[in-house]
Amino acid sequence: MDPLPIVDLELAVTIALLAAVGAGAWYVWRWDQRRRMRLVRTFAVTSCGFDHMRDVLVPDGQGSALHVDFLLLTARGIIVIDLRDIAGNIFGGDQMSAWTVMHRSQRFTFSNPQTALYDRVAAVRALAQSELPVEGRIVFTAPGRFPKGLPRHTLTLESLPAEFPTSDRQALAALIERWLPAWNLIKQSVSPSRIPAPKRAV
């Protein structure tokens, strides 16, 4: 077989290099888009609190620990946030053991997240050791929709600020200050979590 002409070989190398550069640029762009989206979502959650903790392990009192996406100190006390990034139509209810997701041609289920949320709330409440109120919310990002209504303790990311407003910070300062000792106690009791949340893969 005759060797490729030098011109054709140079052209092939140039095309391969351009393709590699283009693929690299695309991956960098996708990574940057995801990073920006994470920052936007993080700000949307944390802006609802006067202080926050993110990705922490909360001792469960039985020698183990529970991953918590966000802990917010709000005007209503501490809010345990379970953030879910699931695209598609979600069908779930308080009494259903599994919730169903329909997205394009795909259909899959995931366990009812309310039970795990109750466990996280109980663990945080035990750490507080005070009258500081502790609530929990499962927050779904924009790709997820509930066409038949939201189950209990479930919110969309867009509705979170309305549920936990922070507009009157001055009027609430004394209330927040009263809760700071319990909040600081929780801060001292949790540790950073590097556990990949299973829900990120669905």
Question: What are the tens digits of pLDDT across the range 67-117?
Answer: 999 999 988 889 999 999 999 999 999 999 999 999 988 899 999 999 999
72-86, 157-171, 172-186, range with the lowest pLDDT: 157-171
d(CA 42, CA 62): 30
- Residue 175 included in any domain: yes
- Residue 54 included in any domain: yes
Q: Which phi and psi angles does 162 have, rounded to 5°?
A: -70, -30
The total number of structural domains that make up the chain: 1
- Please say whether the beta carbons of 73 and 176 come within 8 A: yes
- Residue 10 included in any domain: no
Q: Which residues span the domain enclosing 189?
A: 47-201
- Residue 105 included in any domain: yes
Q: State the CATH number of the domain containing residue 53.
A: 3.40.1350
- Residue 26 included in any domain: no
